[in-house]
């Protein structure tokens, strides 16, 4: 094992991870004038790239891969940001300020930022089959695109945003798609009955076979899934199965470090309980002042803002405004945008034309807006953002 000189001057900031949170952290450090060494440890062979296009444009168009990189290679050298590619962080010794890497080497840091993101959950019963995948990386997306081009019959398990977006991309490619969802409606637990019904109608109207309130009782096939039997006895044939049932933080490598594997609790500047160890993005559970607890985000805007917040904390600058919980999705050519915490609501009011995919749903609690879903009207977003901005602050006593 090779090991760098011990902790001390010059170790600088090491960022474990090479996604959006890592990128924003590195960029912000330089923008704020940080002159120390900055290294990103990126498990993937690529420079940092953007994931939302992987379930959208990249599924339908190989050329869309060209625009997923956040920055060209020369940007990193120009900013003196060292991106170590194809090597993973494998263990942390926080006392020694030392990060072990998958190639057997180890590096020291003055500050460590954990930004290793999340990984898709897998259903154990499907794990050993050859024609089963999840969607997180560029390679995953490319493989699905190739299957769709070959008109493979796709079985998607899970009608969350990723499952829905892949269903949309598959229909655009002319593929047959069945989506199986255990909940009574898509996104029912997050967005409620009215919006769940709208999503169900959207997909069915586009030719997706959407099976709700069902799980897989039996898998047929030897090394490849050929069909599944659902709880109620129905058999569904498939050429490929996509498991899209959510993500868990990618933190197994921190076992034994004292940090929890389910998401690292941090303050508003991304500081963890361990000295000089910060976290950002899908691997972090930032303290949410409004909810009064640590919360995982799992969404793009939060990951970027948290990466920037960590950079501010490291250089000792005032923290930027926290992110309002938000998400967007593109399905069948319509943009769907979501802000806030719909789970807090006791009422939802819809305004607009659901059939025309042009409406706003405002979720309220005791008459106060706590969340909004905007379909096909991005111009409505700035005003709703202003109305919901208070959700990023501590509520009055
Ligand atoms: P990631 O982007 O996951 O980056 C983490 C990086 O760290 C990865 O490159 C990973 O390989 C690397 N890594 C993992 N372990 C290690 C290790 N041990 N050592 C070194 N490196 C490691 N959000 C939205 O708000 N809207 C959307 O429309 C949307 N669409 C999405 C579509 C897809 C297909 C996916 C997968 C996600 C989507 N998201 C969307 C979520 C959004 O992309 C994530 O919230 C965001 O990427 C999180 O950024 P991150 O940097 O925390 O993690």
Domain ranges (residues) in the chain: 13-119+248-315, 122-243, 333-392
Mean pLDDT, the chain, rounded, equals 95
Percent of the chain with pLDDT over 90: 93
pLDDT tens digits, 288-345: 988 999 999 889 999 999 999 999 999 999 999 888 889 999 999 999 999 999 999 9
Give the pLDDT band (50/70/90) at residue 6: very low
How many Å lie between the centroid of ligand 1 and the Cα of residue 117?
A: 5
Would you state the structure tokens that stand for residue 213, as one six-digit string? 């309130």
- Tell me whether the CATH fold assigned to 13-119+248-315 matches the one assigned to 122-243: yes
Residue 297 near residue 306 (C-beta atoms within 8 A): yes
Q: Are 180 and 155 in contact (CB under 8 A)?
A: yes
The pLDDT of residue 2 is 39
- Residue 79 and residue 46: Cα distance in Å, rounded? 18
Residues with C-beta less than 6 Å from any ligand 1 atom: 16-22, 41-44, 51-52, 54-55, 88-89, 115-118, 135-136, 162, 250, 253, 281-283, 298-301, 303, 327-329
Pairing state between β 13-16 and 38-42: parallel
**Can you tell me which atom of ligand 1 is nearest the CA of 302?**
45
- Percent pLDDT > 70 in the chain is 97
Residue nearest to atom 52 of ligand 1 (CA): 281
Query: What superfamily does domain 333-392 belong to in CATH?
Result: FAD/NAD-linked reductase, C-terminal dimerisation domain (3.30.390.30)
- The token pair at 288 is 């949410």
What is the pLDDT at residue 5? 46
Between the CA of 118 and the centroid of ligand 1 the distance, in Å, is 6
Average pLDDT over residues 194-214: 98
Nearest CA to ligand 1 atom 2: 19
Which pLDDT score is estimated for 297?
87
Q: Is the pLDDT of residue 360 over 80?
A: yes
Topology of the domain comprising 122-243: FAD/NAD(P)-binding domain (3.50.50)
* pLDDT value at residue 313: 98
What is the rounded average pLDDT of the residues 373-395? 93
Task: Among 15, 20, 90, 117, say which to mutate for ligand 1: greatest number of ligand atoms within 8 Å of CB.
Answer: 117
DSSP string, 94-145: TTTTEEEETTS-EEE-SEEEE---EEE---GGGTT-TTEE---SHHHHHHHH
The average pLDDT across 107-113 equals: 98
Provide the pLDDT confidence category of residue 9 given band limits of 50, 70 and 90.
Answer: low
The per-residue pLDDT for range 253-296, each reduced to its tens digit, is 999 999 999 999 999 999 999 999 999 999 999 999 889 999 99
Closest ligand 1 atom, residue 116 Cα: 7
- Distance, first Cα to last Cα, the chain: 54
pLDDT digits (tens, 9 = 90+) for 121-139: 999 999 999 999 999 999 9
- Residues forming beta bridges with residue 112, ordered by sequence position: 14, 277
- For residue 102, what pLDDT band results from cuts at 50, 70 and 90? very high
Output the CA 368–ligand 1 centroid distance in Å.
Answer: 32
Residue to mutate (ligand 1; options 14, 16, 18, 64; most atoms within 8 A of CB): 18
Architecture of domain 13-119+248-315: 3-Layer(bba) Sandwich (3.50)
Q: Helices 188-205 and 161-172 sit at what angle, rounded to 10 degrees?
A: 10
According to the model, what pLDDT value does residue 323 have?
80
Ligand 1: nearest atom to the Cα of 89: 19
Q: Alpha-carbon distance 37 to 12, whole Å?
A: 5
Evaluate whether 221 touches 239 at the Cβ level (below 8 Å).
no
């Amino acid at each position: 094992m090779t090991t760098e000189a011990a902790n001390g001057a010059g170790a600088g900031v090491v960022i474990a991870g090479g996604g959006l949170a890592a990128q924003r952290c590195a960029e912000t450090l330089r923008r704020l004038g940080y002159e120390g060494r900055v290294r990103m440890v990126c498990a993937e062979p690529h420079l940092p790239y953007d994931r939302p296009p992987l379930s959208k444009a990249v599924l339908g168009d190989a050329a869309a891969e060209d625009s997923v990189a956040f920055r060209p290679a020369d940007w990193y050298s120009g900013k003196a940001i060292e991106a170590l590619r194809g090597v993973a962080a494998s263990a942390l010794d926080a006392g020694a300020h030392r990060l072990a890497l998958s190639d057997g080497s180890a590096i020291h840091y003055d500050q460590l930022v954990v930004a290793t993101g999340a990984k898709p959950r897998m259903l154990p019963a499907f794990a050993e089959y050859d024609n089963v995948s999840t969607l997180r990386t560029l390679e995953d997306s490319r493989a699905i695109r190739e299957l769709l081009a070959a008109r493979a019959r796709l079985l998607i398990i899970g009608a969350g945003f990723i499952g829905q977006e892949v269903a949309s991309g598959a229909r655009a490619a002319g593929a047959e798609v069945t989506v199986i969802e255990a909940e009574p409606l898509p996104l029912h637990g997050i967005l409620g009955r009215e919006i769940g019904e709208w999503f169900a109608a959207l997909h069915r109207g586009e030719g997706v076979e959407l099976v709700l309130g069902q799980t897989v009782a039996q898998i047929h096939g030897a090394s490849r899934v050929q069909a599944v039997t659902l709880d109620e006895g129905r058999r569904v044939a498939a050429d490929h199965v996509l498991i899209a049932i959510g993500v868990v933080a990618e933190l197994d490598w921190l076992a034994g470090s004292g940090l929890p594997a389910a998401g690292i609790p941090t303050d508003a500047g991304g500081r963890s309980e361990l000295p000089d160890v910060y976290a950002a993005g899908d691997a972090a559970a930032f303290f949410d002042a409004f909810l009064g607890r640590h919360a995982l985000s799992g969404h793009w805007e939060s990951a970027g803002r948290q990466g920037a917040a960590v950079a501010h904390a490291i250089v000792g600058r005032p923290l930027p405004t926290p992110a309002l919980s938000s998400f967007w999705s593109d399905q069948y050519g319509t943009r769907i945008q979501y802000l806030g915490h719909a789970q807090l609501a006791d009422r939802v009011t819809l305004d607009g034309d659901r059939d025309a995919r042009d409406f706003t749903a405002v979720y309220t609690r005791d008459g106060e807006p706590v969340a909004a879903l905007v379909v096909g009207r991005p111009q409505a977003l700035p005003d709703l953002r202003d109305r919901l901005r208070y959700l990023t602050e501590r509520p009055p006593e």
